[in-house]
Amino acid sequence: QTRERRQVIYEIVNYPEPILRAKGRPVGEITPEIRTLVEDMLETMRAHHGVGLAAQQIGKDIQLAVVDVTGCEHRESKMWGDGQPVDPEAYMPLVLINPELKLTKNKVRDVEGCLSFPGLHTDISRAARVKATVGTLDGGSFTFEAAGLLGRAVQHETDHLHGRLFIDLLTDAERRDLRNQIERIKMGLPATDESDDEDL
Ligand code: ZN
């Protein structure tokens, strides 16, 4: 028995709301409520033009996130299943339930933003490649490797699930340089004054 239902689009929780620092509880059984929440999170992510969204960003401290890099042609994503390259778009959207990551030691630096930090985009160093094992909505598990934008998104969302934010990865000097922008976000303003914004 199916019931027509409109998806709920949540408001995004912005920095410095304390829930963004909450460590998520592991998701247990995949209940209908979890499935509904996943649908709503996907709808919320799309409504805000994000490529990833973690439960903390809609005010819930559980280890559940969604990612979708479909259509991000200007930023390459790579994915492997059983060590063989696969087409990332065939696996989108990706639901990350209780993700466990293994990160390579070598890092890559690339620009990163976060829906909870409106208007802030800055270079962040992250592991070049990640091996992820995640729970799936059918109660099983799924292991894959990812690099490029997808690898970055999986790391960024998994950090959210443990209360970690991308600004934690800045050096002290980088954080000082971004201080004014971060202060604007704390005041509820977008980081960048759009009249001075240069799109590079
Ligand atoms: Zn984020």
Among residues 178, 126, 117, the alpha carbon closest in space to that of 156 is found at: 126
Q: Give the distance (Å) from ligand 1 centre to CA of residue 4.
A: 31
User: Of 17-21, 67-71, 196-200, where does mean pLDDT reach its minimum?
Assistant: 196-200
Residue 126 scores a pLDDT above 90 = yes
DSSP notation for 99-123 = EEEEE-SSEEEEEEE-TTSTT-EEE
User: What's the CA gap between 130 and 148, in Å, rounded?
Assistant: 10
Average pLDDT, whole number, for the chain?
A: 94
User: Which 8-state DSSP code applies to residue 95?
Assistant: E
* Residues annotated catalytic, as ranges: 157
Between the CA of 84 and the centroid of ligand 1 the distance, in Å, is: 29
pTM: 0.94
What distance in angstroms lies between residue 158's CA and the mean position of ligand 1's atoms?
A: 9
Going from the Cα of 170 to the center of ligand 1, the distance in angstroms, rounded, reads: 14
Does 107 have pLDDT greater than 90? yes
Q: What is the pLDDT of residues 128-184, one digit of tens each?
A: 999 999 999 999 999 999 999 999 999 999 999 999 999 999 999 999 999 999 999
